[in-house]
Structure 1
Amino acid sequence: MIFSSPDPAGDPYLARAVLSLQRASYAVEADLIGDHRLPPLQEDQHQLAAWRGRWVLAWDGVDLVGAVAWSETESHLEIEKLMIGPAAMRRGIGSALLGRVVACASGRRVLVTTGRDNVPAVSLYRKHGFAHEADVRVPPGIWISRLALAGSA
């Protein structure tokens, strides 16, 4: 596994590859929660490239198999997206990417939201020490769970 930290805004080919991965990954979540109106499935290449934050991408040779994107402030990091290609799921890529984000936290609080009924994602975060904080119903009726890394500031 090779990790890189490019900005998709700087490379249209990379932005297309990340968008393709995002659509495939979030389609799995949409099936799990029973709603295909998830914002990452509505995003286009320009919206993806316009987002300003940090990225780490996971490559298996020349194949993009995973990505994580987060924003950060002085007090916390917020994981915005964690995506794994369906063919690469259950190979530890999500754990490896999550570890990269946590390593950047430097003691700051780490937050994430995911579909409440996305059992694999909730299980991944709990396995890495995240604790459930709240369930929130977001328009138009999608339930999400907010989790925070236990022990983070």
Structure 2
Amino acid sequence: MIVELNHKDADTAQKMLDVQLPSYLVEAELIGFHDIPPLRDTTATIRESGESFIGFTVDQELAGFVSYELADDGNCVDICRMVVHPDYFRRGIARQLLSHLLAGAAAHKKVTVSTGERNEPAKSLYRSFGFTEAKQIEIAPGVKLSLFELPAVRG
């Protein structure tokens, strides 16, 4: 079930952190870089975030979530986090969350997202929705982020 998450609530923020940390540890292993900012998050930083959060629950348990920010001009959505707990990998949760976001808050808007250059599962997911790789940036020696874009006009 897809639900809006109130990340300002302490219990919800803790549940989100309990999903986020193991998820980003997997990405850290994939890309060979453990200084990923989401691994430094705490319940306080999640609660203070200006992002909007959409969660996916399985049997009333938070299994994953996506967060995003709307650009000041309202024409672009930046996906900040796409998180699925490793216990729920390969169940289509990220695909459902992304589909929900693209049909809702991100409908008819340009969408941007980034992931580790070596995170093939994430890159494959974004490409399957029509995202194209716009550029890569090096965030540390030998570690690159792939930046993806999806145009506002979609068929």
State the TM-score bracket (shorter-chain normalisation): over 0.9
Does residue 100 (structure 1) correspond to residue 100 (structure 2)? The answer is yes
Structure 2 counterpart of 1:82: 82
Q: Percent identity?
A: 31
Alignment of 1:1-153 (within 5 A): 2-9=1-8, 11-73=9-71, 74-103=74-103, 104-139=105-140, 142-149=143-150, 151-153=151-153
Paired letter, 2:98: L
Q: Go from structure 1 to structure 2 and tell me whether the alpha carbon gap of 1:100 and 1:116 turns closer, same or farther (over 3 Å shift).
A: same
Instruction: In structure 1, list runs of 5 or more residues that go unmatched.
Output: none
Displacement, 1:140?
Answer: 6.5
Tell me the distance in 1 between the aligned counterparts of 2:28 and 2:125: 17
- Residues 32-88 of structure 1: CA deviation (Å, up to 9, x unaligned): 001111000011110111001211100001211110000002110000000001011
Tell me the distance in 1 between the aligned counterparts of 2:27 and 2:137: 17
Q: How many residues align?
A: 150
TM-score, scaled to structure 2: 0.92
Runs of 4+ in 1 over 6 A off after TM superposition: none
Displacement, 1:152?
Answer: 2.2
Tell me the distance in 1 between the aligned counterparts of 2:13 and 2:22: 14
SS at match of 2:152: coil
Q: CA RMSD in A?
A: 1.3
Instruction: In structure 2, list runs of 5 or more residues that go unmatched.
Output: none
Tell me the distance in 2 between the aligned counterparts of 1:64 and 1:142: 30
Q: Go from structure 1 to structure 2 and tell me whether the alpha carbon gap of 1:141 and 1:52 turns closer, same or farther (over 3 Å shift).
A: farther
